[in-house]
Amino acid sequence: MFRLYRDTPVHVDTRRRFDLDLARRSAHDMSVWQKACCRRLRLLILLGLAVASAILPASAQQDATNLQVVATFSILADFARNVGGDQVEVTTLVGPNGDVHVYTPTTADAEAIRNARLVIVNGLGLEGWLPRLVKSSGSNVTTVVATRGIAPRKVAAGEILSRDRGMGSVDPHAWQSVANAEIYVANIRDAMVSADPANAATYRANTSAYLAKLETLDRDVRKVLAPIPVERRKVISTHNAFGYFAAAYDITFVAPQGVSTETEPRARDVATIIAQIKKEKIPAVFLENISDPRLMLQVASETGAAIGGTLHSDSLTPKDGEAPSYIEMIRHNVRTIASALME
C-alpha cells in the first residue's frame, strides 16, 4: 500500500536539540548544587529544581518506564500526546513545518523506531518512505494505522487540473475533517491500551476528554462558516490537501499542485487557476506553511486576488507559532478562511 517518493531532505528536529540543551543546563545546575556549602542555599536550589521540573515539557523529562511511541509527523504526535498524556514518550519524525510527503529519514529516526513499542502512521500512501526506514531499523515494532476505519476520499475528475495526474488516487489528508480526527484518536487509544494495559484507564479517560474538545471544535467550525454564502465559499490553496475539510464543511478548494507536494505544479495548471479566479471572482488565495509561497504570490499578483493568509495543511508549527496543536491548527485555518471570504 505504500509508494516510494523522491527523497528531499527537509527535516530539522528542533525538539531534540532543545532536549539536549535542557540536559546540558540541568548538568550545570547539578555542579552548582554540589559546590554549595550553605544548607539554606541548597534547600533553595532544590526547591528551584522541583519547580523547573514541574514546568519542563513532558518530552524533556525522559522516563524509561513510559510507553515509547513514534509518530510519523507532528499532527499524529499531537493526537498521541493527548491520548497518552504523562504515560507516553512521543518522538516525532517529521517535525513542525516539515513536509511528510517528501522526507529523508535519519539514523536517529531508525534508532527511535528501534526503541519504540508503537509507530503511529497515517497510511493512505502518505508515508512512502516509512517501510524502508522500519526495515533498516531491524525492528518488528507494532505499526498503528491511524486512518483505519476512515472512508478514503478518491481524487475526483473535477479537482484535477491536468487530467492525466492523480485522478482516482487516494487523498491521504483525512485528518482535515474533525470527524475523521476523532477516528484517528480512537485508533491511537486502542493501540496504547493493547500495548500498555496497565494504564488503560488513563488512556481511556484522556481520550474521552480530548474527544469532547474535538466535538466542540467541529461545532465551532460550522458556526464560524455559517454566515458565508455557499457560492462564496471558494478557496485557492497551494496543494490539494483540504479535500476532506471541503467535503465536511461545504467549501470548494482548488489547488495547482496535486495531493502530494512531490511534483511541481505545471504551468498550464497555474494558467487554469488564474483564469478560474478571474472568471469566478474568487476573492482570496492562501499560502501553506509547508509550501514555497512564490507560486501563490504570482497567482495573486496576476489576478488581483488577495493573499488570505497561511493555511496549515500537513504540519503544525513550533510552540510559538500560530498552529502548535491540531485544535489550534483547525481554528486558525477556519478563522483565516472565514475572514478572507467575508470581506
Contact segment (CB under 5 A) with Zn ion among 80-88, 200-208, 240-248, 269-277 equals 240-248
Which one of 241, 255, 295, 311 is in contact with Zn ion (CB under 5 A)? 241
Nearer CB in complex with Zn ion: 118/290: 290
CA separation for the pair 238, 267 (Å, rounded): 14
* 99 is a site residue for Zn ion (CB under 5 A): no
Q: Are 64 and 116 in contact (CB under 8 A)?
A: no
Nearer CB in complex with Zn ion: 192/259: 259
Residue 200 C-beta: closest distance to Zn ion, Å: 33
Cα-to-chain-centroid distance, residue 300: 27
Radius of gyration of the chain (CA): 22
Q: Could you tell me the sign of the dihedral formed by the alpha carbons of 243, 245, 249, 252, in that order? A: negative
Contact map string, positions 283 to 322, toward Zn ion, x by CB under 5 A: -------------------------------x--------
Residue 238 C-beta: closest distance to Zn ion, Å: 9
Residue 291 C-beta: closest distance to Zn ion, Å: 9
* Overall size of the chain counted in residues: 343
E strands of 212-264, at which residues?
234-236, 252-254
Nearer CB in complex with Zn ion: 241/341: 241
User: What part of residues 56-95 is at the interface with Zn ion (CB under 5 A)?
Assistant: none
Residue 315 C-beta: closest distance to Zn ion, Å: 9
Residue 101 C-beta: closest distance to Zn ion, Å: 5
Q: Element (H or E) spanning 171, and its range?
A: strand 170-171
Please name which of 198, 19, 6 lies closest in space to residue 95, comparing C-alpha atoms.
Answer: 19
Nearer CB in complex with Zn ion: 159/314: 314
Total of chain residues touching Zn ion, rule CB under 5 A: 2
CA separation for the pair 280, 269 (Å, rounded): 16
Nine cell digits for residue 287:
499560502
Residue 289 C-beta: closest distance to Zn ion, Å: 11
Nearer CB in complex with Zn ion: 172/308: 172
E strands of 27-87, at which residues?
67-73
Give the binding site for Zn ion (CB under 5 A): 241, 314
